[in-house]
Amino acid sequence: MRKPVLQLAMIALMGALGACSTAVAQRASVVAFARSASDSALQWGGCPPIFPAGCQIAVLHGDPAKPNADIFLRVPGGMELANHTHTSAERIILVSGELRVQYQGQAPATLRTGDYAYGPAGLPHTAKCLSQAPCTLFIAFEQAVDAHPHP
């Protein structure tokens, strides 16, 4: 009776070690990096069509069509982003400029460089770049990057 239990334990241990080595190998293939919002290597593209022309996005990490993508969002000075929602929660740090953000049912908040904001998934909100210079935001999404108009 002891031998089958020992064999099963060894098989389970080998499976766990195999999974660990696979995870370590995958981690080893991921390269660490740092990016600045002024990095000339960033590839800036357009925002979702619900936002005005001039708004831009640069993907920092991940695939925006999949969970856990990080982006820079750049909004020209004075530009307002109409009331909208995201499928995902968003975690924001203002990198440059001054931005007013207002989530439905809450007082507006004015973000300055280095400030953080969190927006739950599905909560309608607006934003306006209050500065003359562009506002650049770092945004981490838990789900795919999207924006949907909200009346």
Two structure tokens written together for 89: 């929660």
Residues in CB range of 116: below 8 A, 6 or more apart: 91, 92, 93
CA–CA separation, 74 vs 58, rounded Å? 8
Give me the pLDDT at residue 29, please. Answer: 76
* Number of structural domains in the chain: 2
Distance CA 75, CA 56 (A): 7
Low-confidence ranges of the chain (pLDDT < 70): 1-28
Q: For residues 138 and 68, state if they share a domain.
A: yes
Same domain, 49 and 78: yes
Give the Cα-Cα-Cα angle 81, 82, 83 (nearest 5 degrees). 125
pLDDT of residue 3: 57
| Coil, helix or strand at residue 136 | strand
- CATH number of the domain within which 50 lies: 2.60.120.10
For 16, the domain range is 1-30
Q: In this predicted structure, what is the pLDDT of residue 88?
A: 97
| pLDDT for res 12 | 45
Can you give the pLDDT at residue 151? 86
The C-alpha atoms of residue 47 and residue 58 are separated, in whole angstroms, by 9
Determine the pLDDT at residue 2. 56
One domain for residues 95 and 132? yes
Residue 145 domain-assigned (yes or no): yes
